[in-house]
Structure 1
Amino acid sequence: MKPYKCIIFDCDGVLVDSEVLSNQVMVDMANEHGANIDLNFAIQNFKGGFLKDCIQQIESIVGNALPDDFENQYRKRSFAVFKSDLKAVSGVESVLKALDIPFCVASSGPQEKIRLNLKTTGLLSYFKENIFSCYDINKWKPDPAIFLHAAATMGFDSEECLVIEDTSIGVKAGKAGGFDVFGFSADDLKENFQNQATKIFYTMDDLLPMISANR
């Protein structure tokens, strides 16, 4: 592999430990409408996905359309949980401090959510304006558009960048765009990247040596 000139981080599950929190809110709200699902179902079916697709899945389960304000209520409830309980992924701040090449974040969430979560966890200052949202371009993973957009804006080609992802959807998006992708599989939310990711790692302590090995 060629030396990397830029790192593109996903946000949820890579920078901030939000997946369990956000999916539990979705489970609670879905069950209020009769879905009868649990957190494991949500992690398997919603993690890394476009919110509107998740809502459509719930509507299929309950057999009815959800209220028009379901998405707004989900945002409000999940933001409230994030403000009180959200933490940075263990070890990721040390990675950001040590990186000596440009990096950015590219996420499926809206700008407001990304910035709120990074600010809550003390990571916002590391990214400045290098924050890219699928909502900005109206294309969502597994479409590689968000990663291509981030790379181009940062001034690099896809083969010069490394994407860090924690979901199969995100890994597929990165690979489809011609990027190397390192799949982060945390102990509590293991993903099967074996046939997708360029490399797999399980703790942030392993990431810097993996990046350095290609320099």
Structure 2
Amino acid sequence: MSKYKCVIFDCDGVLVDSEPIANRVLVDMANELGANIDLDYALKNFKGTSMQRCQEQIAELVPQRLPEDFLPRFRERSFESFRQNIQPVDGIAEVLENLDIPFCVASSGPENKIRLNLELTGLLPHFEDKIFSCFTVRKWKPDPAVFLWAAETMGFKPKECIVIEDSISGVNAAKNGGFDVFGFAAHDYNNELEGHATLTFSDMSEVLELIG
């Protein structure tokens, strides 16, 4: 029997393959303002960070002040790109269909983004009424608030839950809240997760055995 009674999934990069899509939009918007960066730069510097921090980094790269509507324009352009391109992470559908303990999603993104991407990838039915957004608690990873809220709402203590994350800020948020955390390292561009997460893995098909 598993020592864990609940699984808390991050969304971007764990459930849905959204990171390259969102970061491509950020690259395009930054370069339109003169940043001269590429997708590799974005994935190494923006992945797992709040949009506020992404904007701050872009502001340091461009010769002019960021437009006041930068964030709403990013949301509009990224949502459109999600609608055209987003896919579930390989193997995650089978994991969700075969998990025999409760699970939920806790993400740094706004709830409308989480819902959109889960709906587009066919995963939303698994998560109705089990979506937790940092925007609701107004605290972002590595603050553990969203994970603590998710665990409490699901009816479990942190030590009874396993968090699955793919970013160092998410791993640190889980650890800061007293959770064990599995680091999904398939796209760990900076090789940050090993040694920080409870363990790391690179194939989503491994999750059921790791939890069990």
Determine if the TM-score, normalized by the shorter chain, exceeds 0.5: yes
Give the counterpart letter for 2:168 in structure 1. S
Partner of residue 59, structure 1: 59
**Deviation for aligned residue 1:189:** 4.4
| TM-score, normalisation: structure 2 | 0.97
Q: C-alpha root-mean-square deviation of aligned residues, in Å? A: 1.2
2:13 is the counterpart of 1:17: no
Asked if the contact 1:166/1:191 (under 8 Å) is kept, the reply is no
- Cα 1:111–1:33 change in 2 (3 A) is same
Paired residues, number: 211
Which blocks of at least 5 consecutive residues in structure 1 are unaligned?
Answer: none
Partners of 1:32 and 1:193 lie apart in 2 by: 32
Give the counterpart letter for 1:73 in structure 2. R
Partner of residue 172, structure 1: 172
Partners of 2:94 and 2:189 lie apart in 1 by: 21
- Cα 1:106–1:184 change in 2 (3 A) is same
Partner of residue 94, structure 1: 94
Percent identity, aligned pairs only, is 56
Alignment of 1:1-215 (within 5 A): 3-186=3-186, 189=189, 191-212=191-212
Task: Give SS of 1:65's match.
Answer: coil
After superposition, what is the alpha-carbon deviation per residue over 1:124-177, rounded to whole angstroms, capped at 9, x for unaligned?
A: 000111000000010000111110111011111100000000011110110111
Give the counterpart letter for 1:201 in structure 2. F
**Deviation for aligned residue 1:52:** 1.1
Task: Give SS of 1:106's match.
Answer: strand
Task: Give SS of 2:8's match.
Answer: strand
**Deviation for aligned residue 1:41:** 1.1
Partners of 2:191 and 2:127 lie apart in 1 by: 26
Partners of 2:96 and 2:86 lie apart in 1 by: 18
Task: Give SS of 1:182's match.
Answer: strand
Task: Give SS of 1:3's match.
Answer: coil
After superposition, what is the alpha-carbon deviation per residue over 1:1-57, rounded to whole angstroms, capped at 9, x for unaligned?
A: x70000000000000001111101100000000111111111111101110110011
Moved >6 Å (runs of 4+): none
Partners of 1:197 and 1:172 lie apart in 2 by: 8
Task: Give SS of 2:67's match.
Answer: coil
Give the counterpart letter for 2:162 in structure 1. L
**Deviation for aligned residue 1:64:** 3.0
Moved more, 155-164 or 63-72: 63-72
Asked if the contact 2:183/2:198 (under 8 Å) is kept, the reply is yes
Which blocks of at least 5 consecutive residues in structure 2 are unaligned?
Answer: none
Partners of 2:63 and 2:143 lie apart in 1 by: 28
